[in-house]
């Protein structure tokens, strides 16, 4: 019996439980702090009304939180299916896939919501770095940092090819450029700014660094495949 492994397992499991508890506590605290604005959108969202729910920041955040149990259920189903097929790292891969989608789509929805003059005002672009940061404000900076934070956090956990800081930076910047280009082409009454790209990419990198311990490596790739069934004896 490997006594070292037996002794090291409980501390590792305890650490995971502590980290999960802290994450749940942090999420609950954040929801408690913003419960007032979120509850303002609750009646319209629960009634399925578009205006006042899906076209507002509070409404989108509320529906994202409401859909969180469903996202966890989908991740569990994917992990269960992979484990049944004999694949390793089933939970990590499943959580990463669901987390990328659940944490990114709502922010993309918010960034693509048209303004009051959409389709009528000329498209605007700002290519001078750091000029818009002054007018962006702290809330705008935090929001831009979060746009691709989930993508930066979970993508290197799922894809070994993205498990490096330069590639996460390129991923965040590339996705942000696509969003800013779409805003410009569709004339959504939004300013396509290079500062948005810079802050979006920075948010992806910072989130990626936070998940660095769980990044997928090239050595993990073969072990993620389903294990072949043993050949029959004789």
In a domain? residue 219: yes
The two structure tokens encoding residue 67: 């859909």
pLDDT digits (tens, 9 = 90+) for 68-111: 899 999 999 999 999 999 888 888 999 999 999 999 999 999 99
pLDDT of residue 115: 85
Query: Do 99 and 149 sit in the same domain of this protein?
Result: yes
pLDDT of residue 233: 52
**Domain match, 38 and 149 both:** no
- What total of structural domains would you count in the chain? 2
- Verify that 107 and 206 share a domain, yes or no: yes
> What mean pLDDT is predicted for residues 49-53?
79
Which of the four pLDDT bands, split at 50, 70 and 90, describes residue 232?
low
Would residue 78 count as lying in a domain?
no
pLDDT of residue 33: 59
Domain span including residue 131: 89-223
Q: CB–CB of 92/153 below 8 Å?
A: no
Domain co-membership, 168 together with 206 = yes
Whether residues 60 and 110 share a domain: the answer is no
Tell whether 128 and 176 lie within a shared domain. yes
How does 30-57 read in b/e, with b if 16+ C-beta sit within 10 Å?
Answer: eeeeeeeebeebbebbeeeeeeebbebe
Per residue in 109-161, pLDDT tens? 999 998 888 888 888 999 999 899 888 888 889 999 999 999 999 999 999 99
Residues 155 and 203 placed together within one structural domain of the fold: yes
Q: Is residue 7 part of a domain?
A: no
pLDDT of residue 16: 62
What pLDDT is attached to residue 198? Answer: 96
Q: Is residue 4 part of a domain?
A: no
- Classify residue 115 by its DSSP letter: -
213 shares a domain with 166: yes
More confident residue, 230 or 20: 20
> Among 1-10, 26-35, 146-155, whose mean pLDDT is lowest?
1-10
**How far from 42 is each of 65, 135, 142, 169, CA to CA, in Å?**
12, 30, 24, 36
Using CA atoms of 183, 186, 191, 195 in order, give the dihedral in degrees to the nearest 10: 30
Q: Which DSSP letter does residue 53 get? A: I
According to the model, what pLDDT value does residue 220 have? Answer: 65
Looking at the structure, tell me whether residues 45 and 94 fall in a common domain: no
Residue 182 lies in a domain: yes
How far, in Å, CA of 177 to CA of 55, rounded?
23
Is 94 found in the same domain as 61?
A: no
Q: Is residue 216 part of a domain?
A: yes
Q: Which H or E element spans position 193? A: strand 191-193
Tell me the pLDDT of the chain averaged across its residues: 84
Residues 58 and 158 in one domain: no
Kindly state whether residues 62 and 93 are assigned to the same domain: no
Domain-embedded: residue 195: yes
| pLDDT (0 to 100) of residue 15 | 66
Is position 81 within any domain?
no
């Amino acid at each position: 019996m490997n006594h070292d492994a037996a002794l090291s397992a409980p501390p590792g499991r305890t650490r995971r439980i502590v980290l999960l508890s802290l994450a749940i506590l942090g999420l609950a605290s954040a929801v408690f702090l913003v419960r007032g604005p979120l509850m303002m959108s609750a009646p319209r969202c629960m009634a399925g009304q578009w205006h006042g729910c899906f076209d507002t920041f509070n409404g989108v955040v509320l529906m994202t939180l409401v859909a969180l149990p469903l996202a966890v259920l989908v991740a569990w189903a994917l992990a269960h299916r992979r484990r049944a097929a004999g694949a390793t790292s089933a939970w990590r891969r499943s959580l990463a896939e669901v987390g990328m989608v659940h944490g990114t789509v709502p922010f993309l929805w918010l960034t693509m919501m048209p303004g009051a003059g959409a389709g009528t005002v000329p498209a605007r672009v700002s290519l001078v770095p750091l000029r818009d940061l002054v007018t962006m404000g702290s809330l705008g900076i935090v929001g831009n940092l979060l746009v691709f934070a989930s993508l930066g956090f979970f993508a290197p956990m799922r894809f070994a090819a993205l498990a490096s800081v330069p590639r996460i930076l390129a991923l965040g910047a590339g996705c942000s450029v696509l969003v800013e280009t779409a805003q410009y082409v569709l004339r959504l009454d939004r300013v396509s700014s290079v500062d948005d790209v810079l802050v979006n990419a920075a948010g992806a990198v910072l989130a990626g660094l936070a998940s660095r311990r769980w990044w997928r490596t090239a050595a993990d790739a073969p072990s993620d495949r389903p294990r072949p069934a043993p050949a029959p004896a004789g």
